[in-house]
Amino acid sequence: MRARTSLEVAKRFLEQLGYRVLREHVPVVLRGVEVGEVDLVVEDAEGRRYAVEVKAGRLSVSGVRQAKVNSDLLGLTPLIVARGYSDDAARVLAEELGVKVVSLPDLMAVDEVELYSIVRAALEDAVLDIVCSLSVLEDPKAVEVLEAIASSERLEQAAELLGVEVRELEARLADMRRRGLIPPLVGYKRLRAYATALLILKKLALGEIRPIKTRGLG
């Protein structure tokens, strides 16, 4: 939820600065393989386009490198929205690599209506992701992947359960994202939680889990 809210805040902040949001969650593909993703592609008043990385916190050196690599692969100018730099090394590297950094103020002036819109958009995206992913439950091979992920604390463990190499599992997940079976999620912890939620919905639909009945009071 924090990542989604940060994205909505960044979109509105960039629009206030004169940028136009063109796309969201843009995959970075190299030789037919998805190797990354940028949060936004925006365009400024002069028509220049930027690959945007949105950071919920402060920008680190690794964040600068990631933004530079992804933008170069997309043929766009790198731009990062963050709450400042984590240290001088990140600032110096961004300047050296030509990565544009837009710093969000620690306290943004957001009125009640705008805050409601941001939170609502984040919630709608979360619900829509779940609904759009329900079709994954009709694919036995995809369900097998979800079950392995839900049962493992790390990607390596999930690959071991499936009897495949980590690279093959990553390729399967990339294919599932391209087919719209799962959304682009940051971090294995979120992917595991998402897989678990989908499998619970599957069990509920099949009647394998019964709703808890509560007794009235009094």
For residue range 132-190, list pLDDT tens digits in order. 566 667 788 888 999 999 999 999 999 999 999 988 998 889 888 888 778 776 578 88
> What percentage of the chain reaches a pLDDT higher than 90?
39
Q: How many residues are listed for the chain in this entry?
A: 218
Q: Which domains does the chain have, with CATH numbers?
A: 2-103 (3.40.1350.10), 112-205 (no CATH)
| Amino acid letter, 112 | E
What pLDDT band is residue 30 in, cutting at 50, 70 and 90? Answer: confident
Per the confidence metrics, is the pTM higher than 0.75?
no
Residue 176's SS3 state is helix
Q: Which residue has the higher pLDDT, 126 or 177?
A: 177
Phi, psi angle pair for 201, to nearest 5°: -60, -40
- Spell 137-176 as b/e; 16+ CB within 10 A means b: beeeebbebbbbbbebeebeebbebbebeeeebbebbbeb
For residue range 93-125, list pLDDT tens digits in order. 999 999 999 988 754 545 545 555 666 666 666
R_g (Cα) of the chain, nearest Å: 20
CA distance 158 to 166: 8
β-partners of residue 49 are 43
